[in-house]
Structures are given as structure tokens and as C-alpha cells.
């Protein structure tokens, strides 16, 4: 597989974004007060590591198998849905404020990264790579949704 210079540069950007997400999620999992938030951040860090592995595979000339990724995506979505159902409201205002700041930062990060994947997807000529990047983008959107749901259920995000 021959990548264009532009494709290589886009992958390098995504690689650095994934590395940043891994660091932030792991760091924030250690800072979070609520156990449910810690767990969610730890799960997302693991998924970000999978994203990084996929990007590294593409950079190294391997085309990831998107069929197994789609199966994993469905399983991940089910797990995230179950996690959201188990989240309980926090009563301590200070704890809630700190966790809200962590969530807000990660929600903003996920919004940005999902948008960078959108741009990258349109720049790749290989259909399988586009599918792999689209899969990652969908998971980034799921991360954002999980954070949004957590924030909303804990009074950290007002939609009105």
C-alpha cells in the first residue's frame, strides 16, 4: 500500500491526537472522584489505544480488517450503554465541579478529534482505510456521547 504525502501527514496528526487522548483519559481517570467516571475514562483510554494501534498499522502499510472492527464497535456500544445505565448522581458539589471540568475538557477534545477524522476520511483513496478511519470516528463520537450523557445525568450539562 502506497500512501500519499498528504495521507501520511494526516495519519501523523491522528496519531498525535490519539496519543494525547490516551494521556488525558488515563490522567483524568486518576483525578476523577466518581468511580463511574474513573471507569468510563479508563475504558475510553483503552479504546484510544486501539485507535492508535490501527493508525500505526496503516502507517506501517497494513490495512486493518474493518469487519472485526464493526463487530467490536457494536459490542463497545452495548457496554457503554450499560455503563450509562449504572451511573448514579453525585451529591458533593466540589467533587461534582472537578469532575465536570474533566468531562468538559474531554468532551471538547472528542468534538475536535471527531472532526479531524471527518476531514481525513475524505482525503484517503483506499476504501478500507476510509472504513477504518470511519470506524474510529464513530467511536470518538460514542465517547463524546458517553461523556455528554454522564454530564447531563449529573447536572453538569444543561441543554436549555
Q: If you search the block for the grid coordinates 465517547, which residue do you land on?
A: 143
Q: Rg of the Cα trace of the chain?
A: 16
Range of the domain at 54: 5-59+93-153
Q: Establish if 69 belongs to a structural domain.
A: no
Residue scoring higher pLDDT (86 or 99): 99
| Total number of domains in the chain | 1
Q: Establish if 79 belongs to a structural domain.
A: no
32 contacts 99 by C-beta, under 8 angstroms: yes
Q: What is the CATH number of the domain that holds 113?
A: 1.20.1260.10
φ and ψ at residue 141, rounded to 5 degrees:
-65, -35
Q: Establish if 67 belongs to a structural domain.
A: no
Cell digits of residue 72 = 467490536
Q: Establish if 28 belongs to a structural domain.
A: yes
Cell digits of residue 99 = 469532575
pLDDT (tens digit per residue) in 91-132: 455 678 999 999 999 999 999 999 999 999 999 999 999 999
Q: Establish if 110 belongs to a structural domain.
A: yes
Q: Establish if 15 belongs to a structural domain.
A: yes
φ and ψ at residue 28, rounded to 5 degrees:
-70, -30
Cell digits of residue 150 = 454522564
Distance CA(35)–CA(88), nearest Å, equals: 10
Percent of the residues in the chain that have a pLDDT greater than 70, as a whole number: 82
- Has this prediction a pTM greater than 0.85? no
Considering only CA atoms, which of 7, 42, 49 is closest in space to residue 25? 42
Amino acid at each position: 500500500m502506497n500512501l500519499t504525502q498528504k495521507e501520511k501527514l494526516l495519519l501523523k496528526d491522528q496519531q498525535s491526537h490519539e496519543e494525547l487522548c490516551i494521556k488525558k483519559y488515563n490522567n483524568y481517570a486518576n483525578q476523577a472522584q466518581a468511580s463511574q467516571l474513573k471507569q468510563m475514562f479508563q475504558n475510553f483510554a483503552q479504546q484510544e489505544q486501539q485507535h492508535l494501534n490501527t493508525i500505526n498499522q496503516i502507517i506501517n502499510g497494513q490495512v486493518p480488517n474493518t469487519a472485526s472492527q464493526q463487530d467490536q464497535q457494536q459490542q463497545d456500544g452495548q457496554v457503554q450503554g450499560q455503563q450509562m445505565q449504572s451511573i448514579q448522581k453525585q451529591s458533593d458539589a466540589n467533587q461534582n465541579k472537578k469532575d465536570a471540568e474533566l468531562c468538559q475538557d474531554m468532551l471538547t477534545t472528542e468534538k475536535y478529534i471527531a472532526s479531524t477524522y471527518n476531514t481525513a476520511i475524505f482525503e484517503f483513496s483506499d476504501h478500507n482505510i476510509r472504513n477504518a478511519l470511519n470506524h474510529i470516528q464513530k467511536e470518538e463520537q460514542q465517547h463524546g456521547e458517553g461523556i455528554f450523557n454522564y454530564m447531563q445525568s449529573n447536572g453538569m450539562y444543561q441543554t436549555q
